[in-house]
Structure 1
Amino acid sequence: MMATIHCLGTGLVGSYVVRYLSERGHLIHAYDLDPSRVEGLRNVNTHRVDQNFSVEDISSAEGSLALNMLPGAIGSVWTRALGERFPTIIDLSFSEITPNTSFLEADKIGTRILWDVGIAPGLSNMLASYAVRKMGNLSSLKIYVGGNPTEPIGEWKYMAPFSPTDVLEEYTRPARILRNGLLEVVPAITDRHIIEVPGYGRMEGFLTDGLRSLIETLPCSDMYEYTVRWPGHIQRFLDEVGDGSFDQEAAIQAWEHDDETPEFTWLMVQAVSEEGEVMAWNLIDEGGKDGHSMARTTGLVTAICTEILIENEDVVPPGVHPPEALPDYAVSRIITEMKSHGVIIDGPEIDL
């Protein structure tokens, strides 16, 4: 079933989603300040916009589906604006203001919003929710995720696999965790520790605010999400912020993604039941001809969710839904299609 889809944002991840969906035969309208990454693609109409662009400027009333893949700083405003015009929205902006709090009337006007459908948040939520369905209430949930160069290169030992401004927000936004069943808000970049990443060796994990909807939807006593970097990266960030020498613009430039630099994405989800049973998944990807690892692991989840909604919009009812609301068959399809693109995912199969 082919559809007309309006895609806002054609950055590293957004451009992957546009390419994937257009190659599947969907007609795409792509909007960005600089849509050059997707210009000239078959089935893609690009729209170069300016800072004054608004939902009223969207060129065609055709289509019932819009994807918000804009940076988090402006994502919330756009999800609401799109939701008042289109009946189905997929929100990948990872905005601090989430649609489950900012668009409470979505169900009343018949709008469906599926949000945070990336790798983590996103696939991580789906796996954690599946673990609860199989094992019951959890005593602990730990999620580790990071997109990094395969070796600690350069002064920062890092390059950003998505918007560097969103990376900075990740480092500064307080992290919400569950401890002993209670919500705690702690500073980001705390609980730092070394973790062994399969195939890559010792890396460093630290708390960031990636749990989001899971805090409210999953019965679990202790819940944490950690971002993973090469040792030395986050210490330099803390040192420069601490002594006042941190230059945001210089850091953004230094972290810019380089297509020629080998890189990888790692995700680990470990769920432990109240009876001590463990379910764990490991995902590794080093990218391919179709895109770098974070773009395609994130973008594949988004694009496959898009097609699932096109085929059956009733997979979720009108209202605002996190990724863990998707049924098992959708999760199984996402994993199967990711594996078919060369993404390595080890762990329990999704029983249907």
Structure 2
Amino acid sequence: MDLLLKCDANYVPLTPITFLKRANVVYANRTSVIYEGTRFTWSQTYERCCRLADSLRSLNVGKNDVVSVLAPNIPAVYEMHFAVPIAGAVLNAINTRLDAKSIATILSHSGAKLFFVDYQNVELASEALSLLNGAAPSVIACIDDIDTPTGVRFGQLEYEQLVQRGNPGYTGELVQDEWDPIALNYTSGTTSAPKGVVYSHRGAYLSTLSLILGWEMGNAPVYLWSLPMFHCNGWTFTWGVAARGGTNVCLRSTTAKDVYHNIAEHSVTHMCCAPIVFNILLEAKPHERREITSPVEILTGGAPPPASLLQNIERLGFHVTHAYGLTEATGPALVCEWQKKVEQTSTAGSGKTQGKARD
């Protein structure tokens, strides 16, 4: 048989950008983002991402250029996960918990061309930039709060102004090679200087599908952003929620009051977190708690939580799935599957508790 050549009819490079484009068509009027009193639909999110991508292009940000951002889980960071690759560039979401020296190391090593800074992180960013000795990103932009603007400015530009001035009809740069980079992430730097890890469009696409399938994330999930988006691009759920036509509930900080309030207010179905968040929820004061009326799926990572901690958190209305991964593997790479049969019996004190056995 003659060799079948690749063409548009039989081959398309894999990229998470297609999740947003599909969401714009299939879930246009469904709520995409909730942040305090601000709400967007998927059609609005798509338009905002196209506008931002066009503005990035007007700033000469293009193929393989790095765009860094230092910000919490706000709508702007979510939008940048699509807008930056639509412009052909590479997103570098920086850990807001790092010190100025580590952030300066990342900005220098990545060669970031544009640096977005949330208004709450201006002081930290200023200190980091002062350590670069003139090798700072050529363009710096501030992200003011979209729900309650503060008027704080930093650098030459402001995020919302960039969104509004962009062309809503911009369709983006076509991904020619699925091996092209989509994101540049860095390890936490606990043992040495942060180390960079490049994610490809193909890798991000496949990791996203793997997790939404492995977690059995159904249609129209309501996802609470308790996990930082700078952690392996939110374990790829930045792209995964779009793939399932879900709703992103954004949080500036993961406090017990905010988590309980948003779960109850928006009927949250899914969230990710480290086991330490379990303690935050369990130790919440009575006035901070809200009743959880339907189960909330939690995907947690790192060391396996103790059985007693799992039992306590599930009594509150959460169902926990444990995963393990690392930055070099685009986040969670192993998922501990719950088994149908109740096979494991453990003795705690004088009583016996039964739990589901795991792989």
Name the TM-score, length of structure 2 as normaliser: 0.29
> Rg bigger for which structure?
2
Bigger share in strand: 1
Q: Taking CA–CA contacts closer than 8 Å with sequence separation of 6 or more, which of the two structures ends up with the larger relative contact order? A: 1
TM-score by length of 1: 0.29
